[in-house]
Structure 1
Amino acid sequence: MRIRPSAALEERIIELIHERDLAPGTAMPTEPQLMELLGASRNSVREAIRALQALGIVDIRHGYGTFVGQASLNALTASLVFRVRSRAGQRIRAIHDLVEIRELIETGLIGDVAKGRTSDARLAALEALVTAMAHDLGADRAFHALLYEGCGNELVLQLIGLFWDTYHDVEHILGEPADRTEEILANHRLIVSALRDRDPDAARDAMRLHFRDVRNRIARAESEAAAEPAPTVGAAADSPEAS
């Protein structure tokens, strides 16, 4: 073993996983074995394993043991939500940055998807998800996941899901959305139509149009926030939140 004794215990466990070339789903050494290998106490090993579980690096299956995890990026959703909500006075800007990154990823990818042939079955599934969006928010997430499912890039799918989940966890910061369901559905149908025609330019334009709605909502929220008078020191001290 070439595990550095000076590294944090979590890092040393990760090094052990790599050193032994343990694939996701493989059983980890037992707790007593980790204690002996790492020269650490039972409590220290347990704390390190719990920390790695939070990151998805290990998977604790009660009654079965500890296994190497998938390290899904979904574990980062809570961190991103915290990052946005903890930016006092800059939350809307943080949402803007989040949406901008997702738009860059999806606009770049959709052209590549449109260059290839999208099967009739997948086009039908995308159309069905668009119809379901009228009453099911989860259909929107599933739509964007299905768009890129054939790319063969698992990281892309996880990133898009991560940004989608984070945005919808903090969306309320932007205020109540206008009811523009029909226009939103129409925008998604434009994406499907571009895929059917195998038209990369039309696909990119449709995706930009889709994100334009979100960017306009963010811009309105920024304008409204800028127009609000700043609270005075006295008012802040008298407010219930200041107590």
Structure 2
Amino acid sequence: MTATRTTGARANQQALQRAIREYILDERLSSGVPMPPEQVLMERFGVSRHPLREAMKALEAVGIVDIRHGSGTFVGIGSLTALREGLEFRAALSLNGDLLAARELLQVRRLLESGLAGEVLARRDELDMPALRSAVSRMERAAADGDYEASADWTFHRLLYEPIGNGLILELLEVFWSVFHRLDDRLPQGSATPEVIAGWHADILAAIDAADRDHMARAVAAHFDGISQRLG
């Protein structure tokens, strides 16, 4: 009986969350717009305060609403937090087994970044070249001391794709990058020493400086071949 009630409550909660999402879309509410007061929503969906607040907390976790204590609840922007956590957990689990999920995730990232290489060169004049060089220099200086400069690594990748002007691409790349960064200590190093990693990025930068599409393709491939080697 208890299990049945639990299952029913879960189904009701999922239905309420779905109804709130549909309400936002049907009403054509934009990101940042305030949601109606609790009492209005309770009457609209025929629920009490507790299940409504539970639903809002669940929707906040995935960025559908933004709860600002003292100000109210607003329409969110749709976060990739849940995707990041799910992929990280999936990849971490695979480290205890055949590493398949980690390799699949790397393949998706590789396809995305390799496919964008041409776009990067097409927008070469919009790239912040001094900042890219600074990121590579930071990696090289850290590598000279045997250290890997993770923040400079992500900065380099972010700066490469910012001129494309697609926020979703940047969010996805940040998800993929952060997942592998969090798993880094659990992966075998292989030949990917800090010096080698800095060299991958320096070679990509050289290809951009030369505006050489073939060189760019080889440099990006070498970067991902190195990561792939760590996954066997």
- Matched residues in 2 for 1:146 and 1:72: separation? 21
Unmatched 5+ residue regions in structure 2? 1-11, 143-147
**Per-residue deviation, 1:132:** 2.0
Which amino acid counterpart does residue 103 of structure 2 have in structure 1?
A: H
- Matched residues in 2 for 1:177 and 1:22: separation? 50
User: What residue is the counterpart of 1:217 in the other structure?
Assistant: 230
- Matched residues in 1 for 2:163 and 2:123: separation? 10
* Aligned match for 2:203, one of 187, 190, 196: 190
Query: Are 1:11 and 2:24 counterparts?
Result: no
Matches within 5 A, 1:39-188: 39-87=46-94, 89-90=96-97, 92-119=99-126, 122-133=128-139, 134=142, 136-175=149-188, 180-188=193-201
The answer to whether the 8 Å contact 1:98/1:163 transfers is yes
What is the percentage of aligned positions where both structures have the same residue? Answer: 40
Tell me the TM-score normalized by structure 2.
Answer: 0.84
Per the alignment, do residues 91 and 22 of structure 1 end up closer, same or farther by CA in structure 2, a change over 3 Å counting? farther
Render the CA deviation track for 1:204-229: whole Å, top value 9, x for unaligned.
Answer: 2111111111111111xxxxxxxxxx
Total equivalences in the alignment: 214
Unmatched 5+ residue regions in structure 1? 220-243
Which amino acid counterpart does residue 67 of structure 2 have in structure 1?
A: I
- Matched residues in 2 for 1:196 and 1:189: separation? 10
**Per-residue deviation, 1:11:** 0.9
The answer to whether the 8 Å contact 2:123/2:164 transfers is no
Render the CA deviation track for 1:80-121: whole Å, top value 9, x for unaligned.
Answer: 1122233485352211111111011001101221133334x6
Per the alignment, do residues 111 and 152 of structure 1 end up closer, same or farther by CA in structure 2, a change over 3 Å counting? same
| Counterpart secondary structure, 2:28 | coil
Per the alignment, do residues 38 and 136 of structure 1 end up closer, same or farther by CA in structure 2, a change over 3 Å counting? same
- Matched residues in 2 for 1:36 and 1:26: separation? 20
**Per-residue deviation, 1:64:** 0.7
The answer to whether the 8 Å contact 1:27/1:68 transfers is yes
Tell me the TM-score normalized by structure 1.
Answer: 0.81
Per the alignment, do residues 43 and 91 of structure 1 end up closer, same or farther by CA in structure 2, a change over 3 Å counting? farther
Query: Are 1:23 and 2:39 counterparts?
Result: no
